[in-house]
Amino acid sequence: MIAIALLTSLTVYIRPTTSLYLKIFPIFLTVILIIGLRIGYLSSHYKSNIGFYNLFTTIAFIFYFFSLQQIIVNKKVKRIIVYIAFIYPLITLLNIFWIQTGAVFNTITFSLGCLLIVMICIYYFLELFQLTSSINLLTQPSFWICSGLLFYFSCSFPLLGLVNFLKSPSKIIGNSLAIISNLLDVLLYSSFTIAFLCRIKIRKSMSSS
């Protein structure tokens, strides 16, 4: 699904008026795909992939903060998100080296990132409700991206945020968590794919008119 989202994201370079965060999306997805392949390789060879997974989530959160900062309209909120994007990696480093040290998934900073993303996405929808003019949300990339992020991190918070508290979970529980996590990934990257495809539909309708 990451590879499919990456291929569809390349369409952002067709239109010169594309927003900056959309132009950087293909680069982000490429990095995430490479790290994801590395995580899968280590897992298949029964090696620890916690370090790469912590890197994976940290990079993802920073990019999502940047993208949401570009999407949000309110200047004060945009400024707050900039501060968050700079402070969050510092908190992550503090957590890695002084709190949740060793081969442990950084649930503290992951949970914090989930809450921040959900709050910003909710604010995005509040801005939509306050618009004076009507827009077709289905043709807005920001709508699909924020919807995917809101659903993904709302569900990931209880799923992965408490994973370190599960002491020697049974095989059934482990497999169930893996299946749910994979389904959430599919939904997230599907929303990204739709965000890029809906732009192509806009372009065709404009040319036909």
pLDDT digits (tens, 9 = 90+) for 102-135: 778 888 899 999 999 999 999 999 999 998 888 8
Query: In sequence order, what are the residues at sequence separation of 6 or more whose Cβ sits closer than 8 angstroms to the Cβ of residue 62?
Result: 85, 88, 89
Residue 13: is it exposed, middle or buried by C-beta count within 10 angstroms (0-12/13-18/19+)?
A: exposed
Structural domain boundaries of the chain?
A: 2-204
For residue 72, the model assigns a pLDDT of: 96
- Average pLDDT over the chain, rounded to an integer: 86
Residue partners of 19: CB distance under 8 A and separation at least 6: 70, 141
Per-residue pLDDT at 177 exceeds 80: no
Dist CA 65 CA 61 (whole Å): 6
Give residue-wise pLDDT tens across range 11-62.
Answer: 888 877 788 999 999 999 999 999 888 888 887 877 777 888 888 899 999 9
pLDDT (0 to 100) of residue 169: 59
pTM over 0.85: yes
Q: Pick the closest to residue 106 from 159, 51, 151 (CA basis).
A: 51
Q: What is the mean pLDDT of residues 143-152?
A: 96
Angle (CA) 18 150 184, round 5°:
100
Any alpha helices (H) in the chain, and if so which ranges?
2-9, 20-44, 50-71, 75-94, 107-129, 141-160, 171-208
Question: CA-CA distance, 184 to 204, in Å (whole number)?
Answer: 31
